[in-house]
């Protein structure tokens, strides 16, 4: 019975989300609060999810980046992928990442989850603004 339920859940996920979204949501990279970051940004989305992004910098380049969210699977996937995209970028380069860039990297999200990409990018921009 449990195996059937797990199989049904996996089938439902695969019907909605790309393999990249599922991988990032189930095995997020860079998840966790960073002790003593150089800068952080915290944003609460209109959906009620909160995302935090922490940066450790070398001059103006992102040397370490982590995130934390209390959000859904797509929010976790977006935070994870965004940290992977922004790592080693300059603040200027990272500030140019768009929700569309994130959606492309994840092979898309359902329309009802696109706001998760917007939340992740807004949080990164908030962290960058807090530095400048």
**Who wins on pLDDT, 60 or 14?**
60
Tokens standing for residue 111 = 């329309």
> DSSP strand E in 1-132: where?
39-44, 50-58, 61-69
Where are the chain's structural domains? 18-131
CATH 3.90.1010.10 fits 18-131, yes or no: yes
pLDDT confidence of 132, banded at 50, 70, 90? Answer: low
Q: Which of 3-17, 36-50, 81-95 has the lowest mean pLDDT?
A: 3-17
pTM higher than the cut 0.85:
yes
Nearest CA-CA partner of 47 in 105, 98, 122: 122
Q: Read off the pLDDT of each residue in 122-132 and give the average, rounded to a whole number.
A: 94
Q: What is the pLDDT of residues 21-62, one digit of tens each?
A: 999 999 999 999 999 999 999 999 998 999 999 999 999 999
**Who wins on pLDDT, 58 or 131?**
58
Query: Residue 117 above 70 pLDDT?
Result: yes
For residues 61 and 90, is the Cβ–Cβ distance under 8 A?
yes
pLDDT score of 47: 87
């Amino acid at each position: 019975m449990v195996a059937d339920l797990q199989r049904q859940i996996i089938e439902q996920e695969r019907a909605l989300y790309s393999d990249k979204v599922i991988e990032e949501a189930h095995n997020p990279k860079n998840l966790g609060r960073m002790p003593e970051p150089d800068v952080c940004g915290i944003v609460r989305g209109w959906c009620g999810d909160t995302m935090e992004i922490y940066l450790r910098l070398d001059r103006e380049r992102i040397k370490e980046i982590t995130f934390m969210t209390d959000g859904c699977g797509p929010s976790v996937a977006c935070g994870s992928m965004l940290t992977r995209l922004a790592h080693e970028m300059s603040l200027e380069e990272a500030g140019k990442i768009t929700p569309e860039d994130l959606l492309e990297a994840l092979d898309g999200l359902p329309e009802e989850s696109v706001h998760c990409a917007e939340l992740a990018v807004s949080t990164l921009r908030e962290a960058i603004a807090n530095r400048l």
